[in-house]
Amino acid sequence: MSRTRILAFLKRYLILFSLPVVLLSCRPAQRRYAMTGEIVGVDRSEHELIVRNDDIPNFMKSMTMPFAVKDAAALDRLQIGERIKATLVVTKTDSWLEDIQVTAQVLADAGEPHSELQVPIEGSSVPDFVFTNQDGKRVHLAQYRGKVVLLTFIYTRCPMPDFCPRMTNNFTAVEKSLRQDSATYSRTHLLSITFDPEFDTPKVLRHYALSTTSIPSDDLFPHWEFITPSQHDLDTIAKFFAVSVWSASGGKETSPGAEGQITHSLSTAIIDTNGKLYRWYHGNDWTTEEMLREVRSASAMN
């Protein structure tokens, strides 16, 4: 066999051999967890099931939160108060439930999803809420007048990649993009608000901020703070920004973090230079490009 034919053979062999490896490496890594819990809400418009789940070993503690369900037909079969078992699928960027099975029928005294919250009205004045930042210093929203404030809600123990981690990753991308635009950067400020004040102390928030953003503290905190409200003020703040509160059991309303559980929805807002609500976003569907466009638009108004 000539040297040319040998090289051609080896090239063809190596391509065929490496193809399965390449295809395998392109598959998104998935983690799958067996999950049980009680349905406290069914949101068919958002394709979500709100579940008060039991502890998921090696993943997360019991909490109440919405889970994506790709199978719309499955949502039509499910009812509030039913006990279920399911598979929670988690990738680097998303999570959802599949293989949902009802294990117990509807309970007569099951609590209905409950919320007294209303969608924030764009153009309305934002109250001068008070917080404590990652350095233990008291801050309040009015001190940022003259700047466009971009804020979102997180908690540091959240393991779901499409919830708090996505919000922090998106804010990190916004922060780094704004640094390339000195004019807009000087007129903006970012806030990440925890709704788990009992656990998320200033020390915890500081460590979380530095470890997740990889931005040095001297560069990060003057422009982006991680803040916690008092437990007393948490409900008022959550209601204004439409961080949902669901019934935990028997129709009894609980606040985020009550009884060791986090009632978990997502809320992101832009406050203009006059302290008025410019834009409000529910959920996690907004993109960094969209947010940057809106922030720059708000910044250019005055």
Residue 99 gets the label, from left (phi > 0), alpha (psi -120 to 50) or beta, of left
Whether residue 287 has pLDDT greater than 60: yes
pLDDT category of residue 25 using cuts at 50, 70 and 90: very low
* pLDDT one-digit tens code per residue, 91-139: 988 899 999 999 887 654 444 444 444 678 899 999 999 999 999 999 9
Which pLDDT value is given to residue 33?
94
**Choice between 155 and 7, residue whose per-residue pLDDT is larger:** 155
Strands 267-271 vs 188-194: parallel, antiparallel or unpaired:
unpaired
CATH code 3.40.190.10 for 31-104: no
Residue that is written with structure tokens 């807009």 in the block: 184
CATH number given to 130-299: 3.40.30.10
How many CB atoms are located within 10 Å of the residue 133 CB?
Answer: 18
Whether residue 3 has pLDDT greater than 80: no
Which pLDDT value is given to residue 20?
46
In Å, how far are 148, 168, 247, 255, 262 from 115, measured between CA atoms? 29, 26, 8, 10, 15
Which pLDDT value is given to residue 5?
52
Point out which residues pair with 64 in neighbouring strands: 52, 263
Which pLDDT value is given to residue 53?
87
Give domain limits for the chain.
31-104, 130-299
Which pLDDT value is given to residue 195?
85
pLDDT category of residue 90 using cuts at 50, 70 and 90: very high
Distance CA 134, CA 143 (A): 17
Strands 267-271 vs 277-282: parallel, antiparallel or unpaired:
antiparallel
Which pLDDT value is given to residue 262?
55
